[in-house]
Amino acid sequence: MDRELTEMESIVVAESEGEELDTLGNDPNYVALMLINHLESSEDTEFRELCVDMIVELLREDDLITWSNLSASTQSTVKTFLLNSIMVEESGFVVLKLGSIVLKLAASFIKDNNWPELVPFLYQCLDSSSKKYAKASAFLTLAGLAEKVGETIVHSMKGLHSIFRDTLNDDKLDLEVRSVAMYAVINFIQCLSSSNEKERFQDLLPCMMKTLNDALSSGNEEFILRNQYPMRYFMMLANEPRFLRRQLVDVVCTVFEIVEAECLEEDTRHMAVEFLITLVEAKEKAPGMMKKLPLFISRCFAMLLKLLLDIKDEPDWHSAEDVFDDSGTTRIFHVGSGCLSRFSLAIGGKSIAQIAIEQLSAYLDSPEWEKRHAALFALSRINKSCSKVITTKLDEVVSMVVNCFQDFHPRVRWAACRASIWLLLDFSPHLHEQYRYQIFLALAAAVEDFHPRVQAYATRALGAFCLSNKLETLIPLLDGIVNKTLVLIQEHFRTYYDTVMPHLKAILRDAHLKSDLILRARAMECISIVGKAVGKEKFRDDGKQVMEVVVSFQGLQAKADDPSTWDMLTAFAVICECIEQELLTYISAAMPFLIQCVKLHFESNELDDTSIETIKIGDAILWKKDDDPKEKAKACEMLCMYAKLLKEDFYPWISQVVPILVPLRQIYMHNPDKKSDVSEGEILMYFYVFM
């Protein structure tokens, strides 16, 4: 036996590595007959399972190349062996493997009736006296043939209807057999093109639901976890909504019960939810079918809402640094969240909006934080599909969200911040015209929340508030927004400033010594951000030291194609704003290098891109691509800032700056959505005022 096992293993290795069988001194006929002999004679279960795996491996090619290389005699022997073994085999594993080989061969032979023994064999397996594994294998073969060859198998086996019915209704029969029988019925239904032919199986639907219920209530965990689990099969009927129409109420009620049964596996409940949502989405196959079902919309929304209660207040969520961390939520929670979006889109805002608002209001009034959290989460999932209806009810919806900013539970306050972002995105500009002050005050308070997760999301929401607002409506609130944000940043940066800044300065000096231009620019950028965050008083001394390093850049050659040049200029401008008057000490040494960089930046961005269309109008040039003019506008802003800070002390540099600015008078930026914040004319005006 050990020798035979070693021989089998060597063949397995050869096959898995793609070696030809004859390199081992074997041919397909020899291997096939040897495997059959071992399967028939050996009593060692492990060895026999290895043999059957090898037979499957031997015939693994989809086009049956190996099979075609077998002699006619060997082919006949293999087919006879397969059918005989399935009838008597005691090992379920071996039977199912042999059945998969039968299915592969039958799919090629049945159309031309090249295996006349097959159909009688299948009927024999389905006889009441057959062993359960033989029955299961036959039903799986029928299911597979229906999928592979379609109506051919249905017409070849016309007496199956009564067999299906008797099998599904037999309470004493093994549930695995009944389950695969249901699988075969469903595949038969799906492969039929005629609605009338499908209707012949209508009376089997109650039997299939009974099989489903019996399987779910069996308590057999090993069975539930197998691929034959009946819910997977029953799910396929969602693709046949017309077939379900006559018994739709019973089917939907059964599936609702499965979803709501918390004792069942998550996968099972997930599949049941998917079944219902798939039916709702099948609007083309059965228009309006689910909408017309009494109380379906209300019950389905309530069911999905309830799934969002599957959440725990995990400590990890409160301490998470990732703003998107969702510790405590389960797979069922995410299933409910995703399906709420799909359900509301498929059913339509007009049908669901009022029902949703009523149920969400009830959840928000609940003393359970999970329900209040679920309501806010659900609101953000249905906003888009219900936007037209919710727009008419914004007063009620905004109040629902804003009130939750005062909730005692941080996860509810966090959810309120999250919901506010979706409101801002989905209901602009209507939301801002009437409710911007309410939302701003709520977000401003949340920015000062004691809980860091709430603070973080409130800050994100405040950013969305700014992006979605028109400039004229944002200006009155700008001071409050900036102050709140800077205060928040300062509080966080001050704690780490004394630790972080020395390292950043060391990186800057080291990068300068090594001529690492990109690292130098990144260090400057980080220093400028930290300096602006902590404020002038805290940053002033370090800012002076940084400026001394910048002064040492004098004499270096800035490179026109160096992407770090612009980043360094931007960072330098921020630092200048922080140290203000102290700038005079360093500007004389630093300005030549800065002007050189600005000049090179302009020269390196000439219109040499063939994708940029230029139109000459008189002496002016219209650029239709806005990226380049936009960057030049930023450079103009920078020069303007230097002029404002230095005033009359900027005079020595006018002769070098004006030649850069004057050519820009011929350039007009074409962009309907954005305008340059500053023009070269404004800078020249500043020069005139301050000089």
The string of DSSP codes covering 333-378 is HHHHHHHHHHHHHHH-HHHHHHHHHHHHHHHHTSS-HHHHHHHHHH
Residue 245: name the closest of 205, 187, 190, 191 by CA.
205
Give CATH for domain 295-312+322-469: 1.25.10.10
Q: pLDDT value at position 115?
A: 86
Contacts of 653 (CB under 8 A, 6+ apart): 591, 595, 642
C-alpha radius of gyration, the chain, whole number:
37
Provide the 3-class DSSP secondary structure of residue 260.
Answer: helix
Q: What is the predicted pLDDT for the residue at 675?
A: 41
Structure token digits, residue 611: 């994708």
Q: Report the Cα 489 to chain-centroid distance in Å.
A: 31
Distance CA 691, CA 688 (A): 5
Structure tokens belonging to residue 632? 């030049």
Query: Are the C-beta atoms of 667 and 629 separated by less than 8 Å?
Result: yes
How many Å apart are CA 162 and CA 14, to the nearest integer?
Answer: 47
Are 580 and 538 spatial neighbours (Cβ–Cβ below 8 Å)? no
Question: For the chain, what is the largest distance between any 2 Cα atoms, rounded to a whole number of angstroms?
Answer: 108
pLDDT of amino acid 477: 66
Over the chain (691 residues), the average pLDDT of each successive run of 10 is 52 48 60 86 85 81 72 91 90 89 86 83 86 91 87 75 91 89 92 85 92 81 55 89 92 93 86 94 87 93 95 91 84 93 92 93 96 95 87 90 95 95 84 84 88 88 75 63 60 71 83 70 76 79 80 57 63 73 66 70 53 46 46 67 75 79 55 42 49 48
> Please, are residues 452 and 411 in contact by the beta-carbon 8 Å criterion?
no
Looking at residue 289, the DSSP 8-state letter turns out to be T
Name the DSSP class of 311: B
What pLDDT score was predicted for residue 663?
65
Query: What is the per-residue pLDDT for 56?
Result: 84
Give the pLDDT confidence of 213-249 residue by residue, as tens digits: 888 887 655 554 454 468 888 999 998 999 999 999 9
For the chain, the domains span 295-312+322-469, 486-586, 605-691
The amino acid at residue 523 is: A
Question: Which pLDDT does position 209 carry in this prediction?
Answer: 93
Calpha distance 264→510 (Å, rounded): 62
| Residue 518, token pair as written in the block | 């990109």
536/299 Cα distance (integer angstroms): 59
Phi, psi at 229, each rounded to 5°: -50, 120
Note whether 533 and 486 are within 8 A (CB).
yes
614 exposed, middle or buried (CB, 10 Å; 0-12, 13-18, 19+)? Answer: exposed
Which pLDDT score, from 0 to 100, does residue 60 have?
Answer: 67
Cβ atoms of 39 and 48 within 8 Å: the answer is yes
Give the containing element (helix H, strand E) for 527: helix 517-534
Taking each helix axis from N to C end, the angle separating 118-125 and 132-149, rounded to the nearest 10 degrees, works out to 130
Please list the alpha-helical segments (H only) found in 365-470.
369-382, 387-391, 394-403, 410-426, 430-447, 452-468
The H-or-E segment that residue 548 falls in is helix 536-551
Query: For residue 296, with 0-12 CB atoms within 10 Å meaning exposed, 13-18 middle and 19 or more buried, which class applies?
Result: buried
Rounded CA separation 623/605 (Å): 13
The pLDDT of residue 671 is 43
pLDDT tens for 121-144 read 999 999 877 888 999 999 999 999
Angle between helices 72-88 and 28-41 (to 10 degrees): 20
